[in-house]
Homo-oligomer: A and B are copies of this chain.
């Protein structure tokens, strides 16, 4: 890192948020983790366009220039369709798609202005295939994938690297490790390993950008 720069991590998918912070801080970035009830300094409801704008305006004056955003807002939701309310459908969509839209609206003009940067969105198995009881979750994850595809085709030429990671497995966390360990422990994705891939993706050279990749543990 020649000049100090900021990476915003928007939302905290189980297990991955801390590993991403650690990896990008170790790499010299100022990491700003944003969630509704996280670090009080930057806590923001990213479903709110105005609040999102305020956040990035504060970052403009209080943090180094923006290098990119990692969107990691994962509201896992499994529920029988006929038990799912329209309100739940909308909340899951707002939590995963509207937040991605709002941070992209803020990040893209800033990255354009400084000649480039990276935007990474976190998908799931359900981004590519919607199973039973995943009407709200997969509908939102499909929507996020569509959004990321539209963005890459519209803003790649501005030097903005837009990627979509299909996390096709469970990330190790206290909760997942208890539930699935130890016998099946090998089947969990280690947060630090996954964070390393985000790091590599974030820094791909401009001649060789990946828009979409899947990740799963050995044997899965």
In the bound complex, do residue A147 and residue B139 qualify as a contact, i.e. CB atoms below 8 Å apart? yes
Q: Which of A132, A146, A157 has the most CB of B within 10 A?
A: A146
Q: A109-B82, A138-B150 are in contact. Are A213 and B213 (CB under 8 A)?
A: yes
Of all chain B residues, the one with the shortest Cβ separation from A154 is B132
User: Within the complex, which residue of B82, B129, B151 is in contact with A81, where a contact is CB–CB below 8 Å?
Assistant: B151
Q: Which of A193, A208, A210, A214 has the most CB of B within 10 A?
A: A208
User: Within the complex, which residue of B102, B126, B207 is in contact with A193, where a contact is CB–CB below 8 Å?
Assistant: B207
Q: What 0/1 readout, one digit per residue, does chain A (196-211) give for beta carbons within 8 Å of chain B?
A: 1100100011111111
User: Within the complex, which residue of B90, B126, B153, B209 is in contact with A130, where a contact is CB–CB below 8 Å?
Assistant: B153
In the bound complex, do residue B130 and residue A138 qualify as a contact, i.e. CB atoms below 8 Å apart? no
Binds B, one of A5-13, A25-33, A93-101: A93-101
What chain B residues lie within 8 Å of A139 (beta carbons)?
97, 101, 143-144, 146-147, 150
Is A188 close to B, CB under 8 A? yes
What chain B residues lie within 8 Å of A217 (beta carbons)?
206-209
In the bound complex, do residue A209 and residue B216 qualify as a contact, i.e. CB atoms below 8 Å apart? yes
Q: List 17 A-B contacts (CB under 8 A).
A: A81-B150, A89-B101, A126-B146, A130-B146, A130-B147, A130-B150, A130-B153, A140-B146, A141-B146, A142-B147, A189-B207, A194-B208, A196-B205, A196-B208, A208-B215, A211-B214, A212-B214
